[in-house]
C-alpha cells in the first residue's frame, strides 16, 4: 500500500528509473470529479451559506468554475472565492436579495502563500480567531465528510489501469493532486492502482508545481519529466518545472488513455514528445475549456 507522503518524503526520494511521471487523480485517473462537485461540493456550499433561493444558479456557477472551464481542478479555497465572486454578479442573486460572502479573511490567507489545506486553515483559525475562516473550515470538513460517505469504489477510466501498468515499468510515478491525502489514498487503494506509485501527494504537501519540484528537481532532466492531467493547473505545474504535459481530455478520457499507451508515452521515452506533437495536444485540450461562463456568452 502506498501511503500519503510529506514534503520530506518527496525531497528524499531517489529515482528508480530515468524518467518521472506525475499523474493527477480526480477527473484524470478516476471519474470522481463530477460526482464530488455535484453531490458533495454543491450541496455543502448551498447549505453552509444559505443559498437555497438561488440553488440552480449556484449549481451552474460551480459546474463552470470546477468542471467546464480554464479553472477546472483548482484548489477548493480558490474555487470558493471565484464562485462567490461570479455569483455576486448574477442577476438571480440580486433579484433574490441573497448576500454572497466577501471572504476578506480567506483572501488574505490565500494571498499569504502557504499550503491551501484544511490543516493549514485550522492553524490559521486558531491563530487568528477569525469566525469567517472557521466557517470556511466547517464547510471544507463537511465536503470531506460527504465525499467519504458518498464517493466510494469508483473504477478508473477505461484504459487508465493498463496505461499505468505500462508506465510503471519504465518511469517513477507520483500522484500529484490538490485533493486531501486521505481521500486520495482510499481511492487509489480501492482500485489497486497504488501499486504503480512511489508516493501520493495531496494538498497538504503544497501546490502541484511544488510537488513535482520536490520529487524531481535536480534528479531528472526537465525533458525526462511528464505531467499527465485533465486541468489547466496540471499544465501550469508542468510549465513551472519545464516538464512535458500530456492532457486527459475532459469527456474523452478513455480515448486519451488509449492514445497515451499506444503512442504518446513511447514518444516521451524516445525524446520525441516535445515540440509540434505536444503543442497539438495542448491546443486540443485548451479548446475544450472556455474562459467565459455560458451565461455571459449568451448575452
- What pTM did the predictor assign? 0.86
User: Does residue 163 have a pLDDT over 90?
Assistant: yes
The yes or no reply on domain 7-31+156-286 and CATH 3.40.50.1000 is: yes
What percent of the chain clears pLDDT 70, i.e. is strictly above it?
Answer: 98
* Residue intervals in the chain for CATH 3.40.50.1000: 7-31+156-286
pLDDT at residue 3, as a whole number: 63
Beta pairing partners, 229:
247
| Interacting residues of 150 by C-beta distance below 8 A, sequence separation 6+ | 35, 39, 40
| DSSP of 82-143 | HHHHHHHT-HHHHHHT------HHHHHHHHTTS--SHHHHHHHHHHH--HHHHHHHHHHHHH
| Interacting residues of 294 by C-beta distance below 8 A, sequence separation 6+ | 60, 64
Per the document, the length of the chain is 299
pLDDT tens string 167-222: 999 999 999 999 888 889 999 999 999 999 999 999 899 999 999 999 999 999 98
Measured distance between the N- and C-terminal CA atoms of the chain, rounded to whole angstroms: 52
What number is the average pLDDT over the span 108-119?
93
Number of C-beta neighbours around residue 138 at 10 A? 13
| DSSP of 136-163 | HHHHHHHHHHHHHHH---PPPPTTHHHH
All three cell numbers of 180: 486531501
What number is the average pLDDT over the span 44-61?
96
Which contiguous run of DSSP H or E holds residue 176? strand 171-176
pLDDT tens string 262-299: 999 999 999 999 999 999 999 999 999 998 998 886 54
Amino acid at each position: 500500500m502506498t501511503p500519503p507522503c510529506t514534503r520530506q518524503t518527496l525531497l528524499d526520494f531517489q529515482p528508480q528509473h530515468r524518467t518521472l511521471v506525475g499523474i493527477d487523480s480526480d477527473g484524470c485517473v478516476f471519474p470522481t470529479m463530477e460526482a464530488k462537485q455535484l453531490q458533495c461540493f454543491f450541496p455543502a456550499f448551498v447549505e453552509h451559506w444559505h443559498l437555497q433561493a438561488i440553488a440552480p444558479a449556484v449549481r451552474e456557477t460551480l459546474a463552470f468554475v470546477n468542471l467546464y472551464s480554464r479553472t477546472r481542478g483548482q484548489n477548493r479555497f480558490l474555487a470558493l472565492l471565484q464562485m462567490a465572486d461570479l455569483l455576486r454578479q448574477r442577476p438571480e442573486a440580486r433579484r433574490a436579495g441573497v448576500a454572497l460572502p466577501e471572504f476578506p479573511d480567506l483572501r488574505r490567507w490565500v494571498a499569504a502563500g502557504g499550503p491551501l489545506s484544511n490543516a493549514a486553515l485550522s492553524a490559521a483559525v486558531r491563530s487568528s480567531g477569525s469566525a469567517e475562516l472557521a466557517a470556511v473550515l466547517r464547510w471544507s470538513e463537511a465536503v470531506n465528510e460527504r465525499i467519504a460517505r458518498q464517493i466510494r469504489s469508483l473504477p478508473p477510466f477505461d484504459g487508465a489501469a493498463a496505461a499505468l501498468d505500462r508506465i510503471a515499468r519504465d518511469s517513477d510515478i507520483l500522484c500529484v493532486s490538490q485533493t486531501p491525502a486521505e481521500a486520495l489514498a482510499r481511492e487509489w487503494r480501492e482500485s489497486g492502482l497504488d501499486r504503480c506509485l512511489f508516493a501520493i501527494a495531496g494538498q497538504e504537501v503544497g501546490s502541484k508545481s511544488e510537488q513535482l519540484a520536490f520529487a524531481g528537481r535536480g534528479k531528472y532532466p526537465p525533458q525526462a519529466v511528464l505531467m499527465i492531467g485533465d486541468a489547466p493547473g496540471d499544465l501550469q505545474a508542468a510549465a513551472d518545472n519545464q516538464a512535458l504535459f500530456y492532457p486527459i481530455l475532459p469527456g474523452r478520457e478513455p480515448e486519451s488513455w488509449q492514445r497515451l499507451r499506444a503512442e504518446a508515452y513511447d514518444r516521451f521515452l524516445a525524446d520525441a514528445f516535445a515540440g509540434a506533437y505536444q503543442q497539438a495536444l495542448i491546443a486540443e485540450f485548451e479548446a475544450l475549456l472556455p474562459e467565459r461562463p455560458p451565461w455571459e456568452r449568451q448575452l
